[in-house]
Structure 1
């Protein structure tokens, strides 16, 4: 997936960036593209794929300028700083990898107890939340590079390998969908469930907060979207 202010689409093995006059196709991945983010500026994008690589693209030349070999399928990634020097990726092999684009290797990896399905950053970039296929969420303090909280409860079960967890805009809550169609909202400071929203009939795959925190939208595997007040 590539996030673009104009428009975008994802297809197996390639990322398409649309402009007013047609679109650009960034070709190079050999597997599904699962995530994409701007990398410090609007002319560079990083994508993660099932082909076990991360690729950095220059949108001006429409070319891949660097490939990171992760060794495992990438389910999600985030970029940390405004300069675009740090990438964090979550993988099928239960590992969160930290990449400095100025170097060829990754360091300070964190190994979890299940496949990493998604990642999200708090707005201040101090905390990373991860969704894991062992039916937990892990909160990582990036200043210490350590897991500081684990979120789990009866009834919560991760529904697929790409289930998306998200921070609320104020960083006080995290929301994630469950296999039974529920949406669980935890308090970040307490690691306790604050609310369980129920109206979906199939596994909820993704959630997203309104930028001002007033609403939450969730989508499920049967293509149903719900906006919650």
Structure 2
């Protein structure tokens, strides 16, 4: 090995630079691989030298033994003396013993050399295994280094992303802070406006009381004047002729028309509350009259539908749609409708229930919507029921079988719907500010989509003759469509103080469609003259937001409900 190294070293000067590098690497690898066995090699060489020395010594002793035996044989055959013979015999015996001993040592050395060779092979095999394990470990370490590098890059990317998100969070916090400040200012303004509004309401009440006192005084004065005029007519001699002639053309009891001429103009417009009662302990999103105008149905957030007799002014029955859990109803009735012998209640539990008015039994429970059902209506012939939901679908149901006939995709939450009197058209109002008109004959299809409001539509209803449509919206306006074929808005009904804030704030036509009524967030009920597009009357009795209303078909009653559970009957 040393000779090879010296020769390699001597030839380094004759090689190129890369060849020198390769040779140096080979020498380094050879040094590393042989260094592991250096002690074993030295031990093996020592044992080999000892074995060679023993062999030489053994051969010498064999020679001496052969000579001694030869001499001994000569002495035995000659006349030598016995002492010499004995001495030679002892020497031969000693030499034979030494030869035997050396042969044993040589056998032991050979055996040791064989064991050493086996050990060397085993160590070589172990070294190869360790070398392979080292190479595998090195490969794993390289993979681990690459993975660590990749993880470091990922961590760096995540840190960068985290910093960007922190910046976005700071921006959002600043925006939230600004919005909170704006909200606080708005709340302060609202509180100020509410205080001013309460003060105005108090002044209005005081003014109403003053006007009522004044009207009572004028009524008494009118009665007194009528009596005097009657006396003047019966006894004309006591009064000047010209005054008697002036009185002859005015029949008794008709002078009130001159004094209260405006009342004659609004004779069909409700003017004062006839009956106020607490119908539910919770909000009332909807109410409706039966066709005869003798019963009123109210649907409450307590999950109950109550039927009221208008003659006795009492609740005849309670139709329950759910049980209560911890005093809180598990379902809220969001819309009610009465037709013939049936009543329906649409609920927040994504179902619509149909009861019999005669037996008060639950006939059907329509399920299929995946969201709250805001609205539902019977067709005039009571063959189908239409429901609208927050799942952006309108569904048509067969009333007799309870099966779903059609599912219509609207693309937006349906807040309200109505069916015209001949059952051929369906109008729906949606949160996307649009009004959709559907043809219910044969294959139900959408025939018109219009957008006249800038806020979501909360109410849609046909007039009693089915020729006009009335809509209400969160843009604080009502719209009337007199031409259903074109769906072009004919009239816009507004007022500076009228506000709509509930998704089920309903409006309605009077039976002749001359007037339209809607409730405001401040509890006022506004009645517009449709053709004149002006407010005919503002009714005040509610103390909270008016949510629903219905005008009886005979036209003699208007019913309204609010968020605190009160119902007001107007005359």
Question: What are the equivalent positions in structure 2 for 1:203-218 lying under 5 Å apart?
Answer: 203-218=545-560
Decide whether aligned partners of structure 1 residues 2 and 219 sit closer, same or farther in structure 2, where only a CA change above 3 A counts. closer
Asked if 1:61 corresponds to 2:401, the answer is yes
The two structures have a TM-score, normalised by structure 1, of: 0.93
SS of 2:370's equivalent in the other structure is strand
| Unaligned ranges ≥5, structure 2 | 1-334
1:90 to 411, 416, 429: 429
User: Quick one: distance in 2 between partners of 1:148 and 1:14?
Assistant: 36
2:521 aligned residue: 179
Distance 2:507 2:406 in 1: 28
Residue 113 (str. 1) matches residue 454 (str. 2): yes
Structure 1 residue 213 displacement after superposition: 1.5
Q: Secondary structure, in 3 states, of the residue corresponding to 1:129?
A: strand
TM-superposed CA distance for 1:49, in Å, is: 1.0
Structure 1 runs, 4 residues or longer, greater than 4 Å off: none
TM-score norm. by structure 2 comes to: 0.39
Does 14-23 or 72-81 show the bigger shift?
Answer: 14-23
- 1:179 & 1:27 partners in 2: Cα distance? 33
Instruction: State the superposition RMSD in angstroms.
Output: 1.6
The equivalent of 2:475 in structure 1 is 134
Classify 1:109/1:57 alpha carbon distance in 2 versus 1 (closer, same or farther; 3 Å).
same
Matched residues in 2 for 1:159 and 1:78: separation? 21
Greater helix share, 1 or 2? 2
Alignment gaps of 5+ in structure 1: none
CA distance in 2, matches of 1:132, 1:72: 15
CA distance in 1, matches of 2:355, 2:487: 37
Deviation at 1:79, TM superposition (A): 1.2
**How many residue pairs are counted as aligned between the two chains?**
228
Give 2:491's match in structure 1, choosing from 133, 144, 149: 149
Q: How does 1:187-198 map to 2 (within 5 A)?
A: 187-198=529-540
Closer, same or farther: CA 216–22 of 1 in aligned 2, 3 Å: closer
Match of 2:337 in 1: 3
The answer to which structure has the higher strand fraction is 1
Q: Is 1:16 the counterpart of 2:353 in the alignment?
A: yes
Matches of 1:183 and 1:207 in 2, distance apart?
9
Does the 8 Å CA contact 2:427/2:461 hold for their aligned counterparts? no
